């Protein structure tokens, strides 16, 4: 098993979420491939950690492993995931169900498919209160209305009787967030929570998530490919590429002085770095197929700094300053550039 270096703690006490050496294999028609390879990070209550990378880099697969919702074709083959001290990978179905809601929760990007289309939203929101808190039907319905009010649904008592398709995309996302935070989880994972929404609604949803996180002192894991969202909303960042963690650390420091060529390439690709009259820089090439991940550095085919050793040896994550790690043989050179 590959070891992963966890970012150094920024506060006292045990992190709410600790992921270490997580490996996920995927069965495909042409054989088994590794989709997540030795991923590790930790998040404390009240902090936001962003998992950043292009699509297909293993972010969502990491999230689904944590919450136990992996596709049957995927399997966790190594590593550990501790949520508030409990090793969730060793739990059976019943143990997982007990944790889902009061301890660990997830918000998906597609609210329409995540909500039950044939049940009024009030009844769906009341369910966690009945199942986990044993409230009566009436009390649970009251809690659901209160929750709808809290996440900004107008006329919640009336709207509790509506079905998911009768809400706008932004309002549906609010409902999904309400469901996820209903039982005050220690850890909330938000997987691209605003991707399908327009820019104004995106900002409102991100503000709602931040306010709820502060109110309920949750650890938030934000899965995104949006650098602006990371810069504005996250404390720490884990940059992933081809199923591997390539850089970790506090967002402000990583974005100001990236220590991995992939992070630097991502940052160079945003419009603020464009020079007038010259084409917009982008990360040249595309990530490797999971069936063709090279044995040396996973980024070698797209890296402008690649040398012989990069083809031969996979760089391990090593310290790159206080609370920072980078998996690059030449990260110090990048720091001096």
Write out the residues near ligand SF4 by the rule CB under 6 A: 261, 297, 299-300, 303, 305-306, 310, 315, 328-330
Q: Which is nearer to ligand SF4, 41 or 330 (CB)?
A: 330
Q: Which is nearer to ligand SF4, 164 or 317 (CB)?
A: 317
Q: Which is nearer to ligand SF4, 206 or 303 (CB)?
A: 303
* Residue 306: both structure tokens together: 């690649």
Closest among 49, 19, 48 to 36, alpha carbons compared: 19
136, burial (CB in 10 Å: exposed 0-12, middle 13-18, buried 19+): exposed
Q: Which is nearer to ligand SF4, 197 or 303 (CB)?
A: 303
The size of the chain, in residues, is 337
Smallest distance from ligand SF4 to CB 297, Å: 3
Q: Which is nearer to ligand SF4, 170 or 315 (CB)?
A: 315
Smallest distance from ligand SF4 to CB 20, Å: 23
Smallest distance from ligand SF4 to CB 8, Å: 22
Query: Are 75 and 69 in contact, with CB atoms under 8 Å apart?
Result: no
- What distance in Å separates the CA atoms of residue 129 and residue 136, rounded to the nearest whole number? 9
Q: With the CA atoms of 283, 22, 36 and 261 taken in that order, what torsion angle do they form, in degrees rounded to the nearest 10?
A: 20
Query: Are 297 and 310 in contact, with CB atoms under 8 Å apart?
Result: yes
Closest among 39, 3, 51, 38 to 236, alpha carbons compared: 51
């Amino acid at each position: 098993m590959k070891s992963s270096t966890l970012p150094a703690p920024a506060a006292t006490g045990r992190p709410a979420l600790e992921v270490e050496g997580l490996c996920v294999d995927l069965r495909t028609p042409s054989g088994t491939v590794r989709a997540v390879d030795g991923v590790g990070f930790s998040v404390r209550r009240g902090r936001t950690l962003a998992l950043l990378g292009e699509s297909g880099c293993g972010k969502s697969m990491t999230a689904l492993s944590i919450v136990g919702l992996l596709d049957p074709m995927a399997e966790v083959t190594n590593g550990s995931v501790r949520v508030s001290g409990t090793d969730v990978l060793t739990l059976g179905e019943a143990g997982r169900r007990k944790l889902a809601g009061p301890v660990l929760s997830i918000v998906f990007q597609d609210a329409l498919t995540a909500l039950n289309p044939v049940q009024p939203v009030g009844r769906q929101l009341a369910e966690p209160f009945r199942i986990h808190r044993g409230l009566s039907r009436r009390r649970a319905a009251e809690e659901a209305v209160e929750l709808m009010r809290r996440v900004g649904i107008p006329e919640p008592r009336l709207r509790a009787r509506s079905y998911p398709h009768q809400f706008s995309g932004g309002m549906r996302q609010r409902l999904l967030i309400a469901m996820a935070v209903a039982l005050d989880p220690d850890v909330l994972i938000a997987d691209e929570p605003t991707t399908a929404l327009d820019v104004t609604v995106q900002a409102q949803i991100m503000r709602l998530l931040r306010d709820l996180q502060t109110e309920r002192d949750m650890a938030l894991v934000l899965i995104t490919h949006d650098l602006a969202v990371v810069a504005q909303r996250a404390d720490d960042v884990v940059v992933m590429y081809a199923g591997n963690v390539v850089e970790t650390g506090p967002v402000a420091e990583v974005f100001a002085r990236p220590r991995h060529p992939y992070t630097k390439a991502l940052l160079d690709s945003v419009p603020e770095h464009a020079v007038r009259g010259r084409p917009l820089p982008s990360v040249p090439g595309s990530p490797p197929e999971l069936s063709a991940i090279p044995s040396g550095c996973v980024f070698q085919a797209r890296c402008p700094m690649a040398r012989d050793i990069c083809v031969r040896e996979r760089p391990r994550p090593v310290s790159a300053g206080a609370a920072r790690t980078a998996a690059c043989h030449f990260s110090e050179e990048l720091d001096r550039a």
